[in-house]
Amino acid sequence: MPRVTCKDSDTISKINREKQLTIFKEVSEFLQKRLKNKVLESFNTGEDKITDPTIKEDLTNLIEDLEYNFESEYEAAAQNVIEYLLQCRTTDIKTKLRTILLDLLVSGWAFFQAKPSEGNNNVRIEVLSPLNTFIDRNPNSPYVKDSYRAVIRRWMTEHEILN
């Protein structure tokens, strides 16, 4: 199963911000529960001091668990799209992924184009040949998406030429 990861700095900063907010929210809820329990406990026993040596350990475990198992909404949405495409009958994603991997291994480049289908109710993925795709790269960015333009050469059939 392909896994989704984000590489651009804007999305990574948003994911980190979402992770920090989730951690703060979970820690706050945890501390509120502990505080309520200790306040009720102190009223029942009549103690003035509220001390618990396990709070720090529990907080550390909670934060580590959230850091390790956190999945952002961006990653979840992209993972849902990939799972949908793998299960979709109209899109043969496995063959397309095999072609993309072969292009990447042979030429070092792999290109595809994702467009809405004719009825705008699905995604149509077209694998582009690296031999017929020409990129005018932006020297300031390592990403193809930041290129100035891309030209895709498409070959016509004899029938299309005669028409």
- Per-residue pLDDT of 21-74, as tens digits, reads 888 888 888 888 887 777 666 656 655 454 566 777 777 787 788 787 777 888
CA distance 4 to 77: 9
Q: Does the pLDDT value for residue 6 go beyond 80?
A: no
Token digits of residue 9: 């700095």
Residue 99 parent element (H or E): helix 93-107
User: Which pLDDT value is given to residue 153?
Assistant: 92
CA distance 38 to 22: 24
User: Which pLDDT value is given to residue 12?
Assistant: 82
CA distance 122 to 7: 26
More confident of the two residues 16 and 1: 16
Q: Residue 106: which pLDDT band, with cuts at 50, 70 and 90?
A: very high
User: Which pLDDT value is given to residue 50?
Assistant: 44
